[in-house]
Amino acid sequence: MIPNFKLQISNFNKRGAVVFEILIAMALIVALIVSILPLVSGGQDMIVGSETNQEALYKAEDILGKARAVSLLDFSSVRTANYPNQGIYSRDIIVNDVDSLTKEVTSKVSWNAGGQDFTVSLTTLLTNPILGGDTCNSVLTGDWTSPRLLGAVDVSDNNKGTDVDVFSNKAYITTDATSPEKDDFYIVDVSNSNPPPSRYLPILGSINTGPGLAAVHVAGKYAYVANISATNQLQVIDISLPAAPSELAIARRDVTKAGDVAVGSSIFYADKKIYLGLSKSDGPEFYVFDTTDPINPSKVASFETNTKVNAIIIKNGVAYLAVPDNPDTSLINEQLIVLDVSQANLGIITQINAFGPNPITMSGESLYISKGGNTLYFGEGGANPSNDPQFFLLDVSNPYSITVIDSKFIDTANDVSVRAIIAKGNLAFTVNSDPDKDFQVFDLDNLSNSPYQGYLNIEQASVGGMDCEGNLIYVVQRSNKALQIIGPGEY
């Protein structure tokens, strides 16, 4: 039998074609894979790059969020800084002051990938939530048993500092010059918190408002000042341009009758109201102004103390006034007057209490109140023949019923007057009339039974104005160095 070669050849050809087709298909698949691999790799790079970029964005947002949280507690502490790297990311915050109330904050996150540098930046504006008031740390840290002088400000000879308000790295100083031609309001850059003692801090701007100034309180872009004038006891200064502060003539207020010689002596700002104290007047010595329109303060209420108002503190609708004893009612000690000012906008002020622990030879000089408003720190001064306490801790949680928590007789010199007080944590910082120890630090946990914890002899003797920002204390003085900065001792 003759084999069917044609059939075999045909089958062989069919099998070869199938194998050939498989080989071609495999080649096409390999070619396709080879061509797709770079695309897949590039897509993976794109995915990884997108994830890296998103992570950097989260980190930039986190920096701004933390800066915003810090600004609510201490606006002045929001500053340019470099943070430690996180993995491949370097992190920075850049802060620029727009004005006294606003900071431009930029968070910047950078990294390198594949030899290329990448950066994500976010920018926002932060506004100071505090228009004026306490910008001090809740607890002052460091060695306050050995306080030391840091920077100083010289505003010319015979120009006595009277008060200071430190706000957002600037000190606003009032003075009472021997010559009415000299400036009496100064703005000082205190952003360099630890200059060498010999270095004077820069004065940004100053103006002359008239006969001299007794007190200052900053609120937003305005400084409200008590003028030592019988015709313009309240003045308003625009401080939005620190290099060119300007007194607003439209905002001047004369609160006394013609012929009355009472002048401005003290001032306080709270909740869009200015509280002004005068020296002894023929009429009221305490006034309340509504500052809803800050350059047009409107007098809404007044109260006659019949004596000079040395210091004012407002808390929870209650006004505490440190005063000398009323000479017309000398049998009633009223060195601290307590007023209900919650209805001042209706023209209603009511006295609800008074405190007078010492003889009429002494007077209320200084005040400070705790953040919650339950503890009032009260300083007195004047002739003290019986060695009575000059420094009191008062429980004012119920202002209708004041009780003494503790008190202190300061015996470092004769007849010491406590001219200013700041209390933080368990420490109280006082400026007083002791010529050698005019800055003293006390332990509030054992006030009556322990001596001072630390002291400092301030050059040129302080006249009473004191403020705190951050961890530093600012004190005004009688002459030459009108402002000195005090910090804790070196470890």
Q: In this predicted model, what pLDDT tens digit does every residue of 226-283 receive, in sequence order?
A: 999 999 999 999 999 999 999 999 999 999 999 999 999 999 999 899 999 999 999 9
- What is the Rg, in whole angstroms, of the alpha carbon atoms belonging to the chain? 35
pLDDT value, residue 113 = 85
Residue 356 inside a domain? The answer is yes
Supply the mean pLDDT for the chain. Answer: 85
Q: Which pLDDT band, with edges at 50, 70 and 90, does 179 fall under?
A: confident
Residue 94 inside a domain? The answer is yes
Centroid of chain to Cα 477 = 21
Whether 155 and 51 map to the same domain: the answer is no
pLDDT surpassing 70 at residue 16: no
Domain ends where: 75, 100, 127? 127
pLDDT value, residue 156 = 74
3-state secondary structure of 489: strand
Whether 213 and 320 map to the same domain: the answer is yes
Whether 287 and 436 map to the same domain: the answer is yes
Whether 315 and 366 map to the same domain: the answer is yes
Residue from 448, 449, 411 nearest 432 by CA: 411
pLDDT value, residue 115 = 84
CB of 172 closer than 8 Å to CB of 166 = yes
pLDDT value, residue 99 = 56
Average pLDDT over residues 76-84: 86
Tokens 């303060």 identify what position? Answer: 297
pLDDT value, residue 271 = 86
Whether 28 and 161 map to the same domain: the answer is no
pLDDT value, residue 100 = 54
Kindly report which listed range (128-132, 188-192, 416-420, 483-487) carries the lowest average pLDDT score.
Answer: 128-132
Expressed as residue numbers, the domain containing 113 is 10-127
Q: Which pLDDT band, with edges at 50, 70 and 90, does 4 fall under?
A: very low
pLDDT value, residue 11 = 46
Residue from 88, 95, 127 nearest 110 by CA: 88
Whether 94 and 139 map to the same domain: the answer is no
pLDDT value, residue 10 = 45
Token pair recorded at residue 237 = 């200064």
Residue 193 inside a domain? The answer is yes
Pairing of strands 135-136, 462-470: parallel
Identify the CATH number of the domain in which residue 410 sits.
Answer: 2.130.10.10
Whether 72 and 143 map to the same domain: the answer is no
Whether 101 and 143 map to the same domain: the answer is no
Most confident of 42-56, 128-142, 180-194: 180-194
- DSSP structure class, residue 202: P
Centroid of chain to Cα 297 = 24
Tell me the pLDDT tens digit for each residue of 389-409: 999 999 999 999 999 999 999
Q: Which pLDDT band, with edges at 50, 70 and 90, does 461 fall under?
A: low
Domain ends where: 99, 127, 155? 127
Q: How many helices (H) and strands (E) does the chain have?
A: 1, 33
pLDDT surpassing 50 at residue 44: no
Whether 193 and 119 map to the same domain: the answer is no
Whether 72 and 105 map to the same domain: the answer is yes
Return the amino acid letter for 251. A
Domain ends where: 94, 127, 160? 127
Residue from 382, 442, 391, 439 nearest 414 by CA: 382
Whether 101 and 161 map to the same domain: the answer is no
CB of 87 closer than 8 Å to CB of 110 = no
pLDDT value, residue 147 = 95
Average pLDDT over residues 339-364: 94
Whether 223 and 168 map to the same domain: the answer is yes
Residue from 473, 485, 435 nearest 457 by CA: 435
Q: Could you give the C-alpha distances from 27 to 13, 154, 334, in angstroms and in order? A: 21, 89, 106
Tell me the pLDDT tens digit for each residue of 295-328: 999 999 999 999 999 999 999 999 999 999 876 6
Token pair recorded at residue 462 = 């302080």
Domain count, the chain: 2
